[in-house]
C-alpha cells in the first residue's frame, strides 16, 4: 500500500513538472508574439516507459502499469522550404532596392523634365543664337548668348559633378557594406558555435536557431548566399561556392584597391587576396552602379559635350565678329562635360561673337547656322537634343524597371512571410487555449499529489490506531 502511494507521488511529480514546463513554453511564446524571426515552440510529451509489476499471481492482474509522462522535446515550428524561398527572394530584393534608390538619385541629379533641368538650359542656348541671327548688332543679345553659353557650361559641369559625387558615395557604401558583411558573418559564426555546443549536449537551441536565421536573412540582403546544413545544427554559408561561414568561424572580406580605379574599393578575400565573385544582393547592385551605370552616363555626357564643342567651335571660327575678328572658338577647346566653359577671348568681348559669315554688320547667318546644329544628326544619326533625351530616357527606363521589380519582390517576400507567420508565428488565441489546458492538467496533477498524500496519511497515521 505504501509502495503504491509513493508510486502515485512519482506519477504526480512527473505530471507537475511536464505541465509546468508546458506553461513556461506557452508563456515564452506569448512574450515573443511580436519578436522578429521568432518561431513558435511546442512541447512534445509522451507516456514514459511502463513498469512491470512483480507478482506471483501475474496471470490474474495487469503485468504493466504506466509510470506517467515524459517531456520529449521542446520543438521549434519551422518550414525549411519557406525559409530557403525567403532567403532567395531577400537577395533579389536587396539588389533591386539598391538599384531603385540609387537610380532615383540619378533622376534627381538630372531633374528632368523641369525648368531647372539641363534640357531647358540647352534649349535656351540654341534660342539665344536664333535671336542673335535676327539681331546680330545688338549688344544685349550678344550678352545674352554669352550668358546662355556660360549657363550651359555650368549646368553640364554641375550634372557631371553630381554624378561623380554619387559615384563616390556608392563607393563609400560599398566599403560600409563590406564591414557590415564581416560583422554579420562573425556574429553568425559565434551563434553557430553556440548552437553546435548546445546540440552536442543533447538540448534543442530553439532561440539561438531563430537568432541565426534573422542574421542570415540580414546578410542575404547584402550578398548572394548559399546555405548548406552541417552537423549538430550547424550551417555553412557560401558566396558563389567560397566558404564565408563554417563551423570553425568566418572569413573576412577586405576593401582592396580596384584595378581600373585604385581610389575605389574592390571586395577581396582577406585570407587569399582573390576577388570575391558577388552575383547578387545589394552589394552587387552598388558595384554595377558605381562601375558601369554611372560611368556610362558620364561617358554619354562627355560624348555629347565633345560634339557640341567641336561643332559650335568649327562654325564660330569660320564666322566674323561685329569688330571684324575671326578664328575665335566659342567654347574652350579643352572643355569636357566636367568643365565646359566659354573661350576666354570671346567671353571677355561680346563683339567677337561670330554671328556673320560675310563680315557684314547686319549679317546673322553664322549665328543661324550654329542654332541649326540643334536639329542636325551629329551623334550616331541623332541630334544633340535627341541624344540627350535618349540619355534621360535610359535613366528613366532603368529607374522604372528597378522600382517595378523592387515592388514585385517586396510583395512576393511579404506573401512568403505571411505564409511563414501562418505556420511558425504565435497565435495568441491558440496560446491562451493551450495555457488553460496545461493549467487544468497541472491542477489535476496537484490534486493527484494531494490524494496520494492523504492515502499515506491514512496508512501511516491511522491504520495502526484502528487495530488497537
State residue 1's pLDDT score.
47
- Return the closest-CA partner of residue 444 out of 4, 7, 8, 12: 12
Helix (H, G, I), strand (E, B) or coil at 227: strand
The grid coordinates listed for 255 are 576593401
CA distance linking residue 461 with residue 287, whole number of Å: 85
The grid coordinates listed for 81 are 522550404
Q: Would you give the end-to-end CA distance of the chain in angstroms?
A: 20
Each residue's pLDDT, cut to its tens digit, for the chain (468 residues) gives 455 556 778 888 889 999 999 999 999 999 999 999 999 999 999 988 887 766 655 555 556 778 889 888 999 999 989 999 999 999 999 999 999 999 999 999 998 887 878 999 999 999 999 999 999 999 999 999 999 999 999 999 999 999 999 999 999 999 999 999 999 999 999 999 999 999 999 889 999 999 999 999 999 999 999 999 989 999 999 999 899 999 889 999 999 999 888 999 999 999 899 999 999 999 999 999 999 999 999 999 999 999 999 999 999 999 999 888 899 999 999 999 999 999 999 999 999 999 999 888 789 999 999 999 998 998 888 999 999 999 999 999 999 999 999 999 999 999 999 999 999 999 999 999 999 999 999 999 899 888 887 887 777 776 655 555
CA distance linking residue 164 with residue 294, whole number of Å: 8
Helix (H, G, I), strand (E, B) or coil at 228: strand
State residue 327's pLDDT score.
92
State residue 194's pLDDT score.
95
CA distance linking residue 153 with residue 147, whole number of Å: 10
Domain-by-domain residue ranges, the chain?
2-77+427-466, 85-413
State residue 408's pLDDT score.
96
DSSP string, 89-103: HHHHHHHHHHHHHHH
The grid coordinates listed for 439 are 493549467
State residue 160's pLDDT score.
95
Angle subtended at Cα 156 by Cα 154 and Cα 158, rounded to the nearest 5 degrees:
65
Residue 46 gets which letter from DSSP?
E
Cα radius of gyration (the chain): 39
The grid coordinates listed for 245 are 561561414
The grid coordinates listed for 263 are 581610389
The pTM score is 0.86
Place of cell 493527484: 448
Which residues, 6+ apart, have CB-to-CB distance to 122 below 8 Å? 152, 155, 384, 385, 388
The grid coordinates listed for 372 are 541649326
Neighbours of 194 (CB within 10 A): 13
Place of cell 504526480: 12
Neighbours of 320 (CB within 10 A): 22
Scanning 319-383, the segments in alpha helix (DSSP H) are: 344-347, 365-371
Q: Is the dihedral of CA 218, 220, 225, 230 positive or negative?
A: positive
**Residue 408 phi, psi (nearest 5):** -65, -45
The grid coordinates listed for 381 are 544619326
DSSP string, 428-468: HHHHHHHHHHHHHHHHHHHHHHHHHHHHHHIIIIIHHHHT-
Residue 304 gets which letter from DSSP?
H
CA distance linking residue 338 with residue 163, whole number of Å: 10
Neighbours of 73 (CB within 10 A): 14
Amino acid at each position: 500500500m505504501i509502495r503504491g502511494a509513493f508510486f502515485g507521488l512519482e506519477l504526480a511529480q512527473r505530471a507537475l513538472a511536464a505541465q509546468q514546463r508546458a506553461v513556461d513554453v506557452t508563456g515564452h511564446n506569448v512574450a515573443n508574439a511580436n519578436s522578429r524571426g521568432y518561431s513558435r515552440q511546442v512541447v512534445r510529451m509522451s507516456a514514459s516507459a511502463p513498469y512491470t509489476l512483480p507478482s506471483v499471481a501475474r496471470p490474474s492482474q495487469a503485468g504493466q502499469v504506466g509510470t506517467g509522462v515524459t517531456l520529449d522535446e521542446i520543438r521549434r515550428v519551422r518550414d525549411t522550404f519557406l525559409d530557403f524561398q525567403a532567403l532567395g527572394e531577400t537577395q533579389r530584393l536587396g539588389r533591386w532596392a539598391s538599384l531603385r534608390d540609387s537610380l532615383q538619385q540619378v533622376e534627381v541629379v538630372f531633374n528632368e523634365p523641369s525648368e531647372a533641368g539641363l534640357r531647358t538650359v540647352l534649349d535656351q542656348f540654341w534660342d539665344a543664337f536664333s535671336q542673335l541671327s535676327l539681331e546680330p548688332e545688338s549688344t544685349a543679345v550678344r550678352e545674352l548668348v554669352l550668358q546662355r553659353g556660360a549657363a550651359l557650361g555650368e549646368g553640364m559641369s554641375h550634372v557631371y559633378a553630381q554624378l561623380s559625387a554619387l559615384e563616390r558615395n556608392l563607393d563609400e557604401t560599398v566599403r560600409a557594406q563590406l564591414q557590415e558583411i564581416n560583422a554579420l558573418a562573425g556574429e553568425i559564426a559565434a551563434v553557430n558555435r553556440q548552437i553546435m555546443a548546445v546540440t552536442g549536449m543533447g538540448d534543442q537551441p530553439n532561440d539561438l536557431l531563430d537568432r541565426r536565421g534573422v542574421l542570415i536573412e540580414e546578410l542575404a540582403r547584402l550578398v548572394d548566399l548559399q546555405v548548406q546544413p552541417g552537423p549538430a545544427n550547424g550551417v555553412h554559408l557560401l558566396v558563389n561556392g567560397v566558404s564565408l561561414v563554417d563551423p570553425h568561424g568566418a572569413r573576412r572580406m577586405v576593401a582592396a584597391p580596384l584595378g581600373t580605379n585604385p581610389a575605389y574599393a574592390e571586395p577581396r578575400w582577406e585570407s587569399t587576396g582573390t576577388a570575391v565573385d558577388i552575383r547578387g544582393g545589394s552589394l552587387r547592385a552598388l558595384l554595377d552602379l558605381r562601375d558601369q551605370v554611372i560611368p556610362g552616363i558620364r561617358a554619354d555626357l562627355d560624348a555629347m559635350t565633345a560634339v557640341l564643342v567641336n561643332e559650335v567651335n568649327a562654325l564660330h571660327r569660320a564666322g566674323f565678329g561685329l569688330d571684324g575678328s575671326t578664328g575665335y572658338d566659342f567654347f574652350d577647346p579643352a572643355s569636357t562635360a566636367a568643365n565646359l566653359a566659354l573661350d576666354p577671348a570671346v567671353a571677355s568681348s561680346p563683339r567677337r561673337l561670330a554671328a556673320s559669315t560675310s563680315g557684314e554688320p547686319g549679317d546673322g547667318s553664322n549665328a543661324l547656322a550654329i542654332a541649326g546644329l540643334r536639329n542636325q544628326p551629329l551623334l550616331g544619326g541623332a541630334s544633340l537634343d535627341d541624344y540627350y533625351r535618349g540619355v534621360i530616357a535610359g535613366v528613366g527606363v532603368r529607374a522604372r524597371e528597378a522600382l517595378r521589380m523592387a515592388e514585385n519582390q517586396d510583395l512576393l517576400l511579404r506573401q512568403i512571410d505571411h505564409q511563414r507567420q501562418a505556420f511558425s508565428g504565435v497565435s495568441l488565441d491558440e496560446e491562451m487555449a493551450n495555457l488553460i489546458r496545461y493549467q487544468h492538467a497541472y491542477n489535476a496533477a496537484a490534486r493527484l499529489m494531494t490524494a496520494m498524500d492523504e492515502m499515506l496519511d491514512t496508512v501511516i497515521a491511522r491504520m495502526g490506531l484502528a487495530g488497537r
